[in-house]
Amino acid sequence: MATGQHPGYDPYAFDGIQQSIDVIWEKQIKIVLNAGALNPRGLAKEVANLVRSRGYNLKIAYVSGDNLLEEVRKSLETTGQLPAHLDSSNDQVQLQAHSTDLLDTHKKPVVSANAYLGARAIVKGLEQGADIIICGRVADASPVIGAAWYWHSWNATDYDALAGALVAGHLIECSAYVTGSNFSGFTEFNTDLFLDLPFGIAEVAHDGTTVVTKHENTKGLVNAEVVKCQFLYELQGDIYLNSDVKAYTQNISIEDIGENRYAEFPKMLRLAAFI
């Protein structure tokens, strides 16, 4: 991007919007997309131009504020150090031997520094009438949390519901992982079932409980075992941290409720705002 050879956002995201913009307009679907990378404004402008060219009355917004490169560079100039590791103040956490190697900035220029934003700006944009929101760096589950938060008119202190949306976002954030591509038991099935997989769908209820499914007449598999594989993916303990809430995951229940439909019910979910 600095040399003018890259737009700074994911060009494939724009390709996807081009292919689906007619359906978005016809069905009035709200879109929240975390593909703006270092230039969410640039992608939003391209989408706005596309919408105008089709004559559609759609409002386009973008989320910024995640780029902290200048702040980090100033901190380095002033203190000679990057911000402390997340767990540096907790003496109960034993870091792996090489977990802080990247904090050694001697003769290594910092080329990017982006915060993982939460869902609040997404919610604000939707409340103000945005139809398509382009995000830069946000937490992986933030688009799902933001969409559910807006749809159900939750408050910022509806921690149980927000945590349910966090779990839902975690389950569908990795493309086709929740429909079979991260399933360790795939050898027990016909391998053709796991070719050309669809993305998962999360139906988030008002209380934060979720049904995960997929489109009919597509390949892949959604059952309790597949969902458990994705649920455990990237978790490093029984507390799942996020930019808006944190979820205590010990008592989450995962059950099959029908063919290619699974439900996640938090029997008890304690939440706290994560600042």
Mean per-residue pLDDT, 231-258: 89
Q: What is the pLDDT of residues 182-197, one digit of tens each?
A: 999 999 999 999 999 9
Three-state DSSP at 123 gives helix
Angle at CA of residue 232, ends 35 and 206, nearest 5°: 70
Does residue 268 register a pLDDT over 50? no
Q: Is 55 strand, coil or helix?
A: coil
CB 182 within 8 A of CB 230: yes
Counted residue by residue, the chain has a size of: 275
Strand duo 60-63 + 132-135: pairing: parallel
Kind and range of the H or E run holding 135 = strand 132-135
End-to-end CA distance of the chain: 31
- What pLDDT does residue 102 have? 66
What pLDDT digit, counting tens, does each position of 225-235 carry? 999 999 999 88
Percent of the chain with pLDDT over 70: 87
pLDDT band (50, 70, 90) for residue 165: very high
What pLDDT score was predicted for residue 271? 34
Question: What pLDDT is attached to residue 71?
Answer: 87
Query: What pLDDT, in 10s, does the model give residues 65-102?
Result: 999 889 888 888 888 777 766 666 667 767 677 766 76
Question: What φ, ψ does residue 264 adopt, rounded to 5°?
Answer: -115, 115
Q: Report which DSSP code applies to 199.
A: P
Q: Is the pLDDT of residue 274 over 70?
A: no
pLDDT band at 265 (very low <50, low <70, confident <90, very high): low
List, for residues 43-58, the tens digit of each pLDDT value: 999 999 999 999 999 9
What value does the mean pLDDT of the chain take?
89
What percent of the chain has pLDDT above 90?
68
Looking at residue 251, what is its pLDDT?
85
Q: Specify the DSSP element, H or E, that contains 261.
A: strand 261-266
Single pTM value for the model:
0.88
